[in-house]
Structure 1
Amino acid sequence: MGAFLVGLQCLLCLSSALSVMAEITDNLPPSINQTHLTPVRLQRRGEGLKVEGSTFKLDGFPFLIIAGTVHYFRMPREYWRDRLMKLKACGFNTVTTHVPWNLHEPSRGHFVFTGNLDLGGFIFSASDVGLWVILCPGPYIGSDLDLGGLPSWLLQDSKMKLRTTYKGFTKAVNRYFDQLIPRIVPFQYHEKGSIIAVQVENEYGSYYLDKKYMSFVKKALVTRGIKVLLMTADDGKDVVNGHLKNVLATLHMKNINKDSYRKLSSIQGLSPIMVMLYTAPSFDTWGVSRRTLDPHVLMENARDMFKLRFSLNFYMFHGGTNFGFMGGATTLNGYHPMVTSYDYGALLTEDGEYTPEFLIYQEFFSNVLDLPTPVNLEYMPKAVYNPVKPTHYLSLWDLVPYLDTPVKSTKPISMEKLSVNQGSGQSFGYTLYETSITTSGGLLSSNDHVQDRGQVFLDKMYVGVLDHSTKQLTLPKIQDSKDAHTLRILVENQGRLAYGPNINKERKGLTGDIYLNNSPLRRFAIFCLDMKMKFIERDLPNQWKPISSSVSGPAFFLGYLKIEEPPKDTFIKLEGWNKGIVFINGQNLGRYWKIGPQETLYLPGPWLHQGRNEIIVFEELHPGLNIQFTNQSHLGY
C-alpha cells in the first residue's frame, strides 16, 4: 500500500503541475493533428531532431515523441521484433533503450556485443519495424540493475568514486566508450539511421558528487562522433543540478511540481517539454507485497500531457526479466533485493502479452493521433509441460574438491577483490568462505560484514543465516574428539544498490572481519561460485548421485524435461522448494524464493528444444518433490 500511495502522490503532483504550463509557456506547439507523430520515414533533409522554440522538429516538421522503453537484454533476442512491433502497434513512434556496461564488459577489457547483447542488431530491428530510437548509453544507466549497470570490477579500487571525474573511473569509461560509441555512430539519424537522440548519463542531479562529471560524459560522446540531439533526464527537484549547457533537459515523473517547470524554464527558456520517465508502478522486491498503481490515474495524466503537447517516454512499455543475477536492490526502509521478474506493471507482460492497459493506450493513441484502426491482437500460446521429478543430485560439499583452486587469505576478501576472472574479481552469485576453528561452540558475529546473505555451516551442519538484519549466531557445541572444525559461510550477492551515493560502498561477500567470541577469524579458503553458463555446462563434475532418500541443500538437483512438439513459452512453479536458482540448458533463469511475492519463473520457448532439456536447480535449503509448469505467471498480489 505504501508504494501505491507514493506513486499516486507523484501522479497527483504531476497533474497539479500541468496547469502551470500555460503560465510559463508563451507559445505552445501546434495542435496534435498538425504535428508529425508517426514513425513513417519522410524524405530526409538531414536536419534530424531539433528544438525550435517549444516544439521538436524532425526533418523540419513538428514532431511529438511518443516513446516506450524496451530493454534488449531483458528478453530473448528471438523476441526483439515481436516486442518492437507491439510497441508500434500500440501507437508509439519511438523506442528508448539503455545500454548496460556491466553486461557488455563483464571483465576488464573483455567486451561482448553478440547474441542477446547485440546492440546494433536491436537498433536495426527497431529501424526495420519503423521506430525511432532514443539511446541511453550511460555509463551509469540505473534501470534497477546491479550497481545501476556499472561493472563491479570498478570497486576493486578501494578509492573508487563512481560517476565522478576520478581518474580510475574516467579511464575505464573512456576504454568502454572506445568500444561502444563506434558501434552506435552508424545508426544515427544523419547517417540514415534511426537514432534521433542520445541521453547523457541518467538522473545525475540526484547524485551530483562532481560538477565536472556531466561535461566529461558529454565530451566523451561528442568527440567520438555522437551528433544527434543530446538530453539529460532528472526528477523534478534535481533538474537544475543535472542540467548541461546546450543539452535539452527532460523530466522524470518523480517529484514533479509547479516549481519543477519554473526551474526548467529558468535554465533553458522556451523549450519542448518531455517527460522522459512516465512510469508504471516500480519493481518488486523479495518479501514485500507486489507494487501496483491505478492505471486510470496514469491514463488521466497522459491525456493532460497530450493536451499540452508534452512528449513522453513510458517506462516500462515492456519490462521483461532479470535473467541470471542482473537485478539490483534498494535501501528504501532497509535493504530490499529485487525479484527475478521485471514485469513492472508494464503495458506488455513479462512474457510479452497484451495487458488491458495496452488496449486502453492503443485506443487512446488511435483516437488522438488519428492512427489506423488497430488490427486484431493475437496471443502467443503457452505450454503446460508435465512435471519433472529430479533424479540426481550433487551436494555443494561434494563439489568443492572440483572447484578452481581457492583464494587463500589471512582475512576475508570481498568477491570483487578476489583474484579470479583474469583479475577482474567476482561480479555475481555466491562466494564460499572456509576456515578452521578449534572450538565448535560460541558466538559468531558479523559486525555487518556479511553482504548480503550468508548461510553458516559448522562442518556440514546448517546453523543459520547472517544477513542485513541478523548480525549474530550461536554455534552449537559438538561433543566429539576432533581437534578442529570447518566453519563455512556461503554468501550470496542478492543485488547491489541500483542508485544513490552508497553505490561506492557496494562490495559483496565478506567485506571485513567475522568474529568468534569477539576474536577475528583468520586463514580463509575462498571459493568463487558465480554460476556462469560455462560452470553449469562444463565445470560441474560428473559425480551425480541418485536421489534415494531425503536430501538437503545446498545442492544441485538434476532432471530432464522431454518435449515432443515445437517448444512454447511456459512458467516454472517450484512448490515445496525454498530458495535458489534454476538453469535450463545452461541458461540461468534467475532466483526463486518461497517468501514471494513472485511464485513462478518465466521460461522462454526459444531456450527450449524438442527432445531432452536439462534442468538444474541449485537449492540452498530443502528441495521440493518436483518441478511444475504452468501457462500463467504468478507474481503475487
Structure 2
Amino acid sequence: MAVFFLPLVLTGLAPRPFKNAVFKSPARFSWSHLSPFNLKNRTIGLSTALQPNGKAYFTLEGHKFMIVGGSVHYFRVPREYWKDRLLKLQACGFNTVTTYIPWNLHEQERGKFDFSEMLDLEAYVSLAASLGLWVILRPGPYICAEIDLGGLPSWLLRDPESKLRTTSKDFVQAVDEYFDHLIPRILPLQYLHGGPVIAVQIENEYGSFYMDPMYMDYIKEALLKRGIVEFLLTSDNGKEIEFGSVKGALATLNTQSFVKDYFIKLHRMQNDKPIMIMEYWTGWYDTWGSPHNTKSANEIQRTVSKFIKYGFSFNLYMFHGGTNFGFMNGAKQDPYHLGVVTSYDYDAVLSEAGDYTEKYFKLRKLFASASGDPQPPLPLTTPKTVYPFVGPSFFLPLFDILSYLDKPVTLYTPVTMENLPINNDSGQAFGLVLYETSICSGGRLLASVHDAAQVFLNNVSIGVLDANTAALNIPKIQGCQLLRILVENQGRINFSWKIQSERKGLNEFVSINYILLRNFTIYSLDMKRSFLKRLLLRNWKLAPPHYRGPAFYWGILKVGSSPKDTFLDLRNWNYGFVFINGRNLGRYHNTGPQRTLYVPGPWLHPDNNDVIVFEKIKKGFYIQTTNKPQLQKCCKENS
C-alpha cells in the first residue's frame, strides 16, 4: 500500500480547545484528521476504511492516517521532564504517544486515589495535546509494564478467594470502583470532546493469561458504559492473539521482530481492518544478576522500515523507558524470583536520562526520508555533571529506630504484608516487614519467605531465608531471646498466572522443630516520604567504618547553585535503597547489571541535599557521582 504524507501544518482545521490549551496538528506521518464514523450508534474518533484493492487503513477526519507511536510512561519520568521527552519524541518523527495507566500507583490504598505530581495523568495528556501529539491510553486494569503485580494493587490479594483478571465478583467490583474514578478523568481527554486521545486499549495481553472467556467482554463494556467513545484496541503476542481479542475492538500485535506469519494470522482474523503493531520492542528490561539486554540500532531501523513499506501503523515500546523509582519494579519467575532492576532504560530510543541514542538518529533519518517534510529542530540535550563524593558519616541501625515507626501490629500468628490491618485495611503494598517473637530454644527454623529475609537473634544476624531456602538452624540459646525476621518485597511478578500467589512476607506457618511460633509484633517498613522526613529529625550516630547489618546512613550531596542531572555510583556498597531529599531513587544491588542510580536535576536543591542510604548488609565507604550511567557490567556477589 502506498504511503502518503501531508505537510506539518494541516489546512482546513479549526483549533480545538482542551483545558485552555490549543491542540496543534501532529507532525510526521499524519494524513489529516478524522471523519466521524458510526458504529452501533456511537460516534468514535479513529476510523478505518478500505482501498479499492481491499487493503484497510486508518482515517482521521476522512483522510488516511498512520499511527507512528512511541511509549513514554508518565509515572516513570519526573514531571519536570515530561515536556523534554515528548518534544524529543515529536522531533524524531512520531505523531502519537502511548502510555499505560498504573492502577497500583493511583490507588495504593483502596478508595484513596493519587493523581498528583508524577501521577497527574490529565496534566500529562494535556501537555501532549499542547505539543500536537495524539495519545493512546492503556488503562488496564492489568498492564504488565514490568511493574509490581502488573499494575494491579496489592490489596486485591487480601482475599484468597478472589481471582485476578477474571469476572470473579470481588475482582470486577474493585475494577468497577476504580473505573468509576478513573474514566471520568479520561472522558474530556477524548478526541470527540476536543482532546488528543484517539484510542483506548482494553486490558493487556489477555491472550497469554486467558482464565475467563467472559472477562474481556466485561472490561470492554465497563469502558463503553462509562463513556469511552474512541477506537478500542486489544494487544497480544502473535501466538495468542486470537485469545486476547474481543468483538468490537481492533486486535493489535506485540512483537520483538517482523514475523510474517503473525501478520498473516492477524489479517485472516480481521481482513477488513488495518494492521497495527501495538508494541514493537526496541530492547528489553533487565533483572538483577542477569546480563544487560541490548538490541542493535540497525535491527530497529530495518524492522521499522518494513512497517512503513507495508503501511502498518506501529508503536515503539519503549521510545523512552525512564526509571522504576521507589519500589514500583516488578519481577519474573525464571525459574526463581528475579526482580526487575531500577533502571527501565530498556535500551530504548531515548535513554533512561533522556539522552539521544544511535537508534534515535537512525529513526529520525528514516522518518524524514519517508515523509519528505522538514523536521523540527532537535531539543537540547539535558546536561549531566559530576559532584563531590558523599561520605555518609552518620547512621541509625534499623533496630534503633523501631520506636520512631508507626505503632506495630500484634498478632497471634504472622500474616503477609498485604493482610496487615493497616492503611485502612489495605495492607502494605511495598517495602519491608519486620516480624518479632520470643523464642526459648534453638533448632530448625522453617518459614515460607517471599521474597528474601534476614534472620536475627536480638541484633545478631544468624542467616537468610528466601524462596529457595526455607530452613535455617538456630543455635542453642540460654533463656528466651528475640527472634527477628526482616522480609523484603523485591517486586511482585508482573506476568503470567502466578500473579495470583504473589503475597509477600511470612504466612502463619513459621516453626522451630515443627512447633508453630506465636505472638508476633509486626513493624511496617514501607519507607514512605513521611517516614524519611521524621527520620532526619532523630539523633544520628557517627557511623563506624565497617558496620554490618541493616541500617540507615546519612550524608550531604553538595551541588552548588545550579543542580543538574547526575548518577550515584554505589560500587562499594552491597544492597539497599537510596533516598534523596526524601525521594526514593530505587534499589541498588552489587550483583548488577545496573551499577548507578539516576538522579534527576529537578529533584536536587541548590547547595545541600540529604542523601539517606538504607543498606541491608554492610556499610560502604562513600558514594561517588558520575555523568554517565553504568548498566552493562555485573559485579561481585553479596558479601
TM-score (norm 1): 0.91
Residues 1:241 and 2:235 are matched in the alignment? no
| Offset, 1:192 | 1.4
- State which of 556, 569, 580 in structure 2 corresponds to 1:560: 556
| Offset, 1:52 | 1.2
C-alpha distance in 1 between matches for 2:532 and 2:404:
13
- Native 8 Å contact 1:138 1:200 kept in 2: yes
- Match of residue 443 from structure 1: 444
Runs of 4+ in 1 over 6 A off after TM superposition: 34-38
Q: Which amino acid aligns with 2:451?
A: D
Q: Write the deviation string for residues 94-137 of structure 1: whole angstroms up to 9, x where unpaired.
A: 00001000111110100011111110000011111111000001
Residues 1:49 and 2:36 are matched in the alignment? no
**1:73-92 counterparts in 2 under 5 A?**
73-92=75-94
**1:91-102 counterparts in 2 under 5 A?**
91-102=93-104
C-alpha distance in 2 between matches for 1:43 and 1:473:
66
Change in CA separation of 1:33 and 1:563 when aligned onto 2, cut-off 3 Å: closer
Q: Which amino acid aligns with 2:586?
A: G
C-alpha distance in 1 between matches for 2:467 and 2:4:
52
- Native 8 Å contact 1:74 1:321 kept in 2: yes
- Match of residue 286 from structure 1: 288
- Native 8 Å contact 1:102 1:152 kept in 2: yes
Q: Which amino acid aligns with 1:39?
A: P
Secondary structure in structure 2 of the residue aligned to 1:95 = strand
- Native 8 Å contact 1:90 1:361 kept in 2: yes
- Native 8 Å contact 1:35 1:62 kept in 2: no
Residues 1:630 and 2:626 are matched in the alignment? yes
Q: Which stretch shifts more, 59-68 or 43-52?
A: 43-52
| Offset, 1:302 | 1.3
| Offset, 1:43 | 7.0
C-alpha distance in 2 between matches for 1:43 and 1:235:
29
- Match of residue 426 from structure 1: 428
- Match of residue 226 from structure 1: 228
Q: Which stretch shifts more, 489-498 or 608-617?
A: 608-617
| Offset, 1:256 | 7.4
| Offset, 1:524 | 1.3
- Match of residue 39 from structure 1: 26
State the Cα RMSD in Å.
1.9
- Match of residue 5 from structure 1: none
- Match of residue 198 from structure 2: 196
Secondary structure in structure 1 of the residue aligned to 2:454 = strand
C-alpha distance in 1 between matches for 2:206 and 2:34:
34
**1:526-565 counterparts in 2 under 5 A?**
526-538=522-534, 542-565=538-561
| Offset, 1:46 | 4.7
C-alpha distance in 1 between matches for 2:481 and 2:299:
60
Secondary structure in structure 2 of the residue aligned to 1:360 = helix
Change in CA separation of 1:548 and 1:471 when aligned onto 2, cut-off 3 Å: closer
**1:155-166 counterparts in 2 under 5 A?**
155-166=157-168
- Native 8 Å contact 1:365 1:371 kept in 2: no
- Match of residue 489 from structure 1: 485
Q: Which stretch shifts more, 49-58 or 86-95?
A: 49-58
Change in CA separation of 1:507 and 1:367 when aligned onto 2, cut-off 3 Å: same
Q: Which stretch shifts more, 370-379 or 335-344?
A: 370-379
- Match of residue 386 from structure 2: 384
C-alpha distance in 2 between matches for 1:258 and 1:312:
15
- Match of residue 590 from structure 1: 586
C-alpha distance in 1 between matches for 2:550 and 2:146:
28
- Native 8 Å contact 2:84 2:379 kept in 1: no
C-alpha distance in 2 between matches for 1:616 and 1:117:
24
- State which of 209, 217, 235 in structure 1 corresponds to 2:219: 217
| Offset, 1:567 | 0.5
C-alpha distance in 2 between matches for 1:580 and 1:132:
39
C-alpha distance in 1 between matches for 2:248 and 2:572:
57
Q: Which stretch shifts more, 369-378 or 199-208?
A: 369-378
- State which of 500, 503, 507 in structure 2 corresponds to 1:504: 500
C-alpha distance in 2 between matches for 1:471 and 1:442:
14
C-alpha distance in 2 between matches for 1:466 and 1:212:
40
C-alpha distance in 2 between matches for 1:195 and 1:378:
28
TM-score (norm 2): 0.91
**Identity of paired residues, percent?**
49
| Offset, 1:443 | 2.1
- Native 8 Å contact 1:325 1:428 kept in 2: yes
- State which of 344, 351, 367 in structure 2 corresponds to 1:342: 344
- State which of 187, 207, 210 in structure 1 corresponds to 2:209: 207
Q: Which stretch shifts more, 536-545 or 503-512?
A: 536-545
Residues 1:167 and 2:154 are matched in the alignment? no
| Offset, 1:476 | 2.9
Secondary structure in structure 1 of the residue aligned to 2:280 = strand
C-alpha distance in 2 between matches for 1:418 and 1:445:
21
C-alpha distance in 2 between matches for 1:78 and 1:377:
15
- Match of residue 8 from structure 1: none
C-alpha distance in 2 between matches for 1:468 and 1:540:
34
- Between the two proteins, the alignment pairs up a number of residues equal to 603
Q: Which amino acid aligns with 1:250?
A: T
C-alpha distance in 1 between matches for 2:416 and 2:383:
45
Q: Which stretch shifts more, 312-321 or 396-405?
A: 396-405
- Native 8 Å contact 2:257 2:303 kept in 1: no
- State which of 260, 263, 266 in structure 1 corresponds to 2:265: 263
- Match of residue 477 from structure 1: 476
C-alpha distance in 2 between matches for 1:583 and 1:399:
17
Q: Write the deviation string for residues 428-471 of structure 1: whole angstroms up to 9, x where unpaired.
A: 000001111112x322223xx10000011111111221112222
Q: Which amino acid aligns with 2:484?
A: R
Q: Which amino acid aligns with 1:107?
A: E
Secondary structure in structure 2 of the residue aligned to 1:240 = helix
C-alpha distance in 1 between matches for 2:173 and 2:378:
52
C-alpha distance in 1 between matches for 2:381 and 2:263:
41
| Offset, 1:549 | 4.9
- Native 8 Å contact 2:581 2:603 kept in 1: yes
Change in CA separation of 1:223 and 1:35 when aligned onto 2, cut-off 3 Å: farther
C-alpha distance in 2 between matches for 1:524 and 1:564:
48
| Offset, 1:561 | 1.6
- State which of 186, 189, 199 in structure 2 corresponds to 1:187: 189
Q: Which runs of 5+ in 2 are unaligned?
A: 11-24, 38-44, 51-55, 634-639
Change in CA separation of 1:210 and 1:221 when aligned onto 2, cut-off 3 Å: same
